[in-house]
């Protein structure tokens, strides 16, 4: 915690270095195209670097070639196609506070008063293209189901009599 006069700043972060993650979220997204005539949603793939025509240099195979899904299974989860750098640094929380002078607050019958602003889950620095480089199984696979961790902001005070 850093302090200057009556102000305080507390920053909490976490990191993981040198880890590989299998981006199963991308595999699921491309795998939805397996049967576009079934009862699954068709998702837009305009932002995906996938092969389109001979001579293309792309990261992923063409997702709309339905004929080969039964034999080749191009988007199965257990392949190095999905391997990405899972190194990250995350700012978990920042708290900025101000502690009032005792001489000033004793006029109001208070021993101490501290006000603060805080933020949680503020930012993750990572080259990983999946949803969350923290949420990974012990096998190194992305766990993308469920809701993302929310970013929250708080204003509060600590009061002592």
Phi and psi, residue 156, nearest 5°: -155, 180
Q: Token digits for 152?
A: 């929250």
Q: The whole model's pTM is what? A: 0.77
What band does 40 get if pLDDT is binned at 50, 70 and 90? low
Domain ranges of the chain: 1-19+86-161, 28-78
Collapsing DSSP to helix, strand or coil, 30 comes out as helix
CB-CB contact of 134 with 148 (8 Å): no
Q: In DSSP terms, which residues pair with 124 in a beta bridge?
A: 90
Please give the pLDDT value at position 99: 95
Q: Token digits for 137?
A: 């199984």
Q: Measured between alpha carbons, how far is 140 from 137 in angstroms, rounded to an integer?
A: 5
CB-CB contact of 77 with 22 (8 Å): yes
- Sequence-separated (6 or more) residues with CB below 8 Å from residue 72: none
Please give the pLDDT value at position 127: 94
């Amino acid at each position: 915690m850093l302090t200057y006069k009556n102000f305080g700043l507390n920053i909490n972060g976490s990191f993981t270095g040198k880890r590989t993650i299998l981006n199963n979220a991308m595999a699921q997204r491309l795998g939805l195209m397996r049967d576009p005539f079934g009862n699954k949603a068709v998702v837009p793939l305009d932002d995906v670097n996938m092969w389109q025509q001979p001579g293309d240099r792309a990261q992923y195979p063409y997702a709309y070639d339905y004929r080969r899904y039964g034999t080749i299974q191009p988007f199965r989860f257990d392949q190095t196609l999905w391997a990405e750098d899972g190194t990250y640094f995350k700012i978990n929380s920042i708290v900025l506070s101000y502690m009032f002078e005792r001489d000033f607050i004793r006029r109001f019958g208070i021993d101490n008063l501290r006000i603060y602003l805080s933020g949680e889950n503020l930012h993750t620095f990572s080259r990983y293209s999946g949803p969350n480089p923290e949420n990974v199984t012990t096998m190194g696979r992305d766990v993308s189901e469920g809701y993302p961790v929310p970013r929250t902001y708080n204003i509060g005070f600590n009061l002592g009599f």
